[in-house]
């Protein structure tokens, strides 16, 4: 069943023909590969017969008219199958460098006549073969033109081969290369990861190809639409294991240049994109199970982690989630195995490599004693996200990175469905409101936002591609697809998805292909009616940035929509073919009774049923089914606020959170008065549920960021101390004075909120409790009395209230931690100290990989920036070292976007704005890479913050003082 994919009879016959053709091609390729291997009489990466290597060239001058000066490949050649052999050396060479060597043969089919072969190659030292970087042979009787010359183009990361005559349309050829690359610790391409286990330092070779790093591993056509089959061989130390996308089908022990090695061969992959490749060599151990007695599921990790059963939870949940997706997609898992591996060094949270998914240890490993409920939830949702990609993204892939949202937005939506199936008592479907919808509202309300799908010409360079891995693609994509599923209904949505996946299996699409199949599902569902086609409705959400605020006047029934901007004075320079109006599906209720869904199809409309008076009230966007904010006339606002204060449970948990979040953001945008927003927090002394509290605390956090360096903070503390005290006492009671764990999943989270906020607002009994727990741990480091759920809050608060002794103790515990999630908690908590010299020392540690791993450097800097004391220290640190930071992380790292965003969150003065602008000017020559958009947004948000503080400071101060009496 693991290899079976549901297809029609005709498609099945076609695939059989293709399979036979592929087999012939593989045999031909293997013969060509072996001939070339024998001709050069060397192992991977050895010099050619002339014993020379082609030197790395000086970058050619940029002339945009030549084909190799464009970042997109020409459309003249298509790869069919690669035969790749790699040999990573896990010990340094004579120059103290870790390297890998390799060979690659790729069968290419000519679809347009050309005398140029342009293929991606980056940071590879290509071996000279008869004086050129590659050799070319014909297949199936085709005669290969001679190579005229070859060269590397550094800027666009190409190997260019100019031929003496043209390739024939329809003919196939084999391009053969040999190469050496550095197995660096840069977390990109084929790279090196190191860790210590039982006092022994160990080195592994692993990979991260997304988005443009496969070219750093072997020459390839490194674009998502240029799918091919990959036949992989890895040469490695006999005491290690090798993994790749396909199942291992053979091993052979050899001696090469006097070195005993093992050669592991893998089954050819399905037709797939280069960014989904994975190659790993390690001495890891695994646990395994089978699904439906056929599909092999394995969890790989450090031997100690497997021994301590840290992979067991991931193994248990994987089978359930895969079964859910098979049913949901109505499509069998298309591969023969599902490997998942936890890596000590990994830049992203996880990566959906087809058949070999890679994770940070914190996203896969769960210790039943030391890990928290949040750790378990993160593992479940990340696994669910990555496994969703096995079909949506891997089986069917976007044609180009401008449609990345189609991959990531979809996985970010259905991850909650998969997690909910695996853990049905967690109410996971509600979490999308906090984690995606409310999160992305803040970014998408800026004039510098961008549409989900951008024009292809806006996304070309590796840095521009990396910029697409942002909140808009992931979180807005999830929110908009959830809205689509809501108004179509989940069965119709799933029916369209299944049709889409079966039609385009092993191919590439644009987002409109999905709309086509969803529209077919609508038309084939009796009684299903929507006011316009899926295309017409959804293009307004995908092709224009932002979202609307829907204004409802319950006195007249008037309804209007307007593009919502946090700064109403900001200028939107990006044009929209829809003039920033949307087709808005509005689910709503009247005085607690659900009403028929209403569609707002123009800028202004009237819906008489929304006209109410007396004690009746209207609530729109129930359960936040739509991607928009809602504003009401003041009378309806007053009725909703009165309901919160008298009977808040008459409203759903999600809608209580929505009222708070909408009100605060409408106030930021000057649509309602700031005091109305603050009034939504008055009922919180009676609120016991998690989601409304998180919504409130996130919005209050903005006030803290703006005012914690001013006298307003004292008044804020006094008010919220009064509001949080009942929640703190509630949890003291139900946990029998903190000796028991709350039973509900979300109650466990809200206990953390209660303790964190109570301590932060100055509840003395909370602070004494924290100091007591931490002191007990310091006295007996081998026995930690702090429950895993509370560790993050307790560690941070204790370090903030303490001094160098508390900090040094946490540092020792961090260095000795054997569980990644425990190390992660301590690493974040170390940034909580109020001692500037400790923070400066900690910032310096981020430059030393022996102290802070490279994968954690930028997030550690962000943690320090979240500390009031750390803001100026971090800002100075980053400005002084921008060159270094940019070189290390800026060109492609997904985390670099967050670095700028995190550091500038508190900026709210004219002085800080001018410093930000100067920083931009001073570093134009260096560049900003994947942080370029974040920098633009930081300038815009700082301007908005300055205005907001100036306009609201006195009103906020007065309100807090009055309500605290």
The catalytic residues are 386
C-alpha count within 13 angstroms, C-beta hemisphere, residue 196:
10
Question: Which of helix, strand or coil describes residue 335?
Answer: coil
Distance CA 322, CA 664 (A): 40
Q: Is 935:921 a contact under the CB 8 Å cutoff? A: no
Closest C-alpha among 338, 87, 336, 35 to residue 233: 87
Distance CA 964, CA 958 (A): 10
Distance CA 545, CA 542 (A): 7
* 183: Cα separation from own chain's centroid: 25
Residue with tokens 């077919």: 520
What count of residues does the chain have?
965
CA 361, 365, 371, 376 dihedral sign is positive
Question: Which of helix, strand or coil describes residue 823?
Answer: helix
Q: What CA–CA distances, in Å, run from 347 to 218, 362, 382, 854, 861? A: 21, 12, 15, 8, 15
Q: Name the token pair of 97.
A: 């460098």
Q: What element of type H or E holds 235?
A: strand 229-236
Q: Is 831:866 a contact under the CB 8 Å cutoff? A: yes
Distance CA 139, CA 337 (A): 32
Helices (H), 846-909: 854-865, 870-880, 882-885, 895-903
Supply the DSSP string of 713-732, one letter for each residue. Answer: HHHHHHHHHHHHHHHHHHHH
Q: Name the token pair of 325.
A: 């997706």
Q: Is 706:945 a contact under the CB 8 Å cutoff? A: yes
Neighbours of 609 (CB within 10 A): 12
**Beta bridge pairs of residue 599:** 585
Q: Is 284:341 a contact under the CB 8 Å cutoff? A: yes
Strand ranges, E, within 361-402: 396-398
φ/ψ region of 23 (left if φ > 0, alpha if ψ in -120 to 50, else beta) reads: alpha
Task: Please name the residues in contact with 459: beta carbons below 8 A apart, sequence gap of 6 or more.
Answer: 400, 401, 402, 465, 467, 468
Question: Which of helix, strand or coil describes residue 855?
Answer: helix
Phi–psi pair at 626, nearest 5 degrees: -110, 160
Q: What CA–CA distances, in Å, run from 278 to 81, 353, 354, 892, 937? A: 16, 6, 8, 18, 34
Fill in the DSSP letter of residue 653: H
Q: Give, in degrees to the nearest 5, the angle at Cα 722 between 719 and 725.
A: 140
């Amino acid at each position: 069943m693991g290899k079976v994919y549901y297809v029609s009879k005709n498609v099945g016959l076609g695939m059989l023909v293709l399979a036979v053709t592929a087999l012939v091609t593989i045999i031909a390729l293997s013969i060509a590969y072996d001939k070339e291997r024998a001709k050069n009489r060397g192992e991977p990466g050895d010099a050619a017969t002339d014993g020379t290597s082609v030197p790395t060239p000086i970058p050619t001058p940029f002339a945009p008219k030549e084909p190799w000066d464009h970042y997109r490949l020409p459309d003249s050649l298509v790869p069919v199958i690669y035969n790749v052999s790699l040999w990573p050396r896990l010990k340094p060479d004579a120059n103290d460098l870790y390297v890998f060597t390799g060979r690659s043969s790729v069968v290419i089919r000519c679809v347009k006549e050309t005398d140029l072969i342009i293929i991606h190659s980056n940071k590879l030292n290509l071996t000279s073969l008869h004086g050129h970087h590659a050799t070319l042979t014909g297949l199936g009787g085709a005669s290969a033109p001679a190579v005229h010359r070859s060269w590397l183009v550094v800027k666009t990361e190409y190997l260019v081969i100019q031929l003496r005559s043209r390739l024939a349309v329809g003919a196939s050829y084999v391009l053969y290369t040999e190469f050496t690359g550095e197995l660096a610790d840069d977390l990109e391409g084929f790279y090196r990861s190191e860790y210590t286990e039982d006092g022994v330092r160990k080195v592994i070779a692993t990979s991260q190809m997304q988005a443009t790093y496969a070219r750093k591993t072997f020459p390839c056509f490194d674009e998502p639409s240029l799918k091919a089959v990959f036949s992989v061989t890895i040469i490695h130390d006999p005491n290690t294991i090798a993994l790749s996308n396909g199942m291992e089908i053979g091993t052979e022990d050899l001696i090469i240049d006097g070195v005993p090695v093992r050669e592991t061969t893998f089954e050819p992959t399905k037709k797939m994109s280069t960014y989904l490749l994975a190659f790993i060599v390690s001495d890891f151990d695994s646990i395994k199970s089978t699904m439906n007695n056929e599909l092999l599921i394995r969890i790989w990790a450090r031997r100690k982690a497997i021994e301590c059963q840290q992979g067991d939870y991931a193994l248990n949940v994987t089978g359930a989630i895969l079964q859910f997706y098979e049913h949901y997609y109505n499509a069998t898992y298309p591969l023969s195995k599902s490997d998942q591996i936890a890596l000590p060094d990994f830049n992203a949270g996880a990566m959906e490599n087809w058949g070999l998914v890679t994770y940070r240890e914190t996203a896969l490993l769960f210790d039943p004693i030391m890990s928290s409920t949040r750790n378990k939830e993160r593992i479940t949702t990340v696994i669910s996200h990555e496994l969703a990609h096995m079909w949506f993204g891997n089986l069917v892939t976007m044609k180009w990175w401008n449609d990345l949202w189609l991959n990531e937005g979809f996985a970010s939506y259905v991850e909650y469905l998969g997690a909910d199936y695996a853990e049905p008592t967690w109410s996971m479907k509600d979490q999308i409101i906090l984690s995606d919808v409310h999160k992305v509202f803040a970014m998408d309300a800026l004039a510098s936002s961008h549409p989900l799908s951008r024009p292809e010409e806006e996304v070309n360079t590796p840095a521009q591609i990396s910029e697409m891995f942002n909140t808009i693609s992931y979180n807005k994509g999830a929110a908009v697809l959830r809205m689509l599923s809501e108004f179509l209904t989940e069965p119709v949505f799933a029916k369209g998805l299944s049709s889409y996946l079966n039609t385009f299996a092993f191919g590439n699409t644009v987002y409109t292909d999905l709309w086509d199949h969803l529209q077919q599902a609508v038309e084939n569902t009796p009684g299903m009616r929507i006011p316009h086609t899926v295309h017409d409705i959804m293009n307004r959400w995908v092709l224009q940035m932002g979202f609307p605020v829907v204004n409802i006047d319950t006195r007249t029934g008037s309804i209007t929509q307007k593009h919502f901007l946090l700064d109403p004075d900001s200028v939107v320079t990006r044009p929209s073919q829809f003039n920033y109006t949307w087709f808005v599906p509005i689910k709503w209720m009247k005085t607690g009774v659900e009403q028929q869904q209403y569609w707002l199809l123009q800028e202004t409309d009237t819906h008489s049923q929304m006209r109410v008076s007396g004690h009746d009230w209207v609530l729109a966007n129930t359960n936040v089914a739509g991607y928009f904010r809602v504003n009401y006339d003041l009378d309806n606002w007053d009725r909703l606020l009165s309901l919160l204060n008298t009977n808040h449970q008459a409203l759903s948990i999600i809608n209580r959170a929505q009222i708070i979040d909408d009100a605060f953001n409408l106030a930021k945008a000057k649509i309602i008065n700031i005091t109305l927003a603050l009034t939504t927090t008055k009922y919180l002394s009676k609120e016991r549920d998690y989601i409304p509290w998180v919504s409130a605390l996130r919005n209050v956090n903005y006030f803290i960021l703006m005012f914690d360096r001013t006298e307003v903070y004292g008044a804020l503390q006094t008010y919220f101390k009064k509001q949080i005290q009942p929640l703190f006492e509630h949890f003291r009671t139900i946990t029998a004075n903190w000796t028991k764990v709350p039973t509900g999943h979300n109650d466990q989270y809200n206990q953390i909120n209660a303790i964190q906020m109570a301590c932060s607002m100055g509840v003395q009994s909370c602070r004494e409790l924290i100091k007591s727990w931490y002191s007990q741990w310091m006295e007996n480091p081998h026995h930690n009395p702090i429950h895993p759920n509370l560790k993050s809050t307790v560690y941070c608060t204790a370090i903030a209230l303490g001094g160098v002794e508390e900090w040094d103790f946490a540092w020792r515990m961090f260095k000795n931690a054997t569980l990644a999630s425990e190390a992660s908690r301590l690493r974040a908590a170390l940034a909580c100290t109020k001692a500037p010299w400790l923070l400066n020392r900690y910032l310096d540690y981020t430059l030393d990989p022996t102290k802070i791993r490279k994968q954690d450097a930028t997030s550690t800097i962000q943690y320090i920036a979240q500390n009031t004391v750390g803001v100026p220290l971090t800002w100075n640190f980053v400005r002084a070292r921008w060159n270094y930071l940019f070189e290390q992380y800026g060109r492609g790292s997904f985390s670099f976007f967050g670095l700028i965003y995190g550091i500038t969150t508190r900026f709210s003065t004219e002085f800080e704005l001018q410093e930000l602008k100067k920083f931009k000017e001073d570093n134009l020559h260096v560049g900003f890479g994947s942080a370029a958009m974040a920098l633009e947004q930081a300038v815009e948000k700082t301007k908005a913050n300055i205005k907001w503080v100036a306009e609201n400071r006195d009103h906020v101060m007065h309100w807090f003082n009055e309500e605290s009496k």
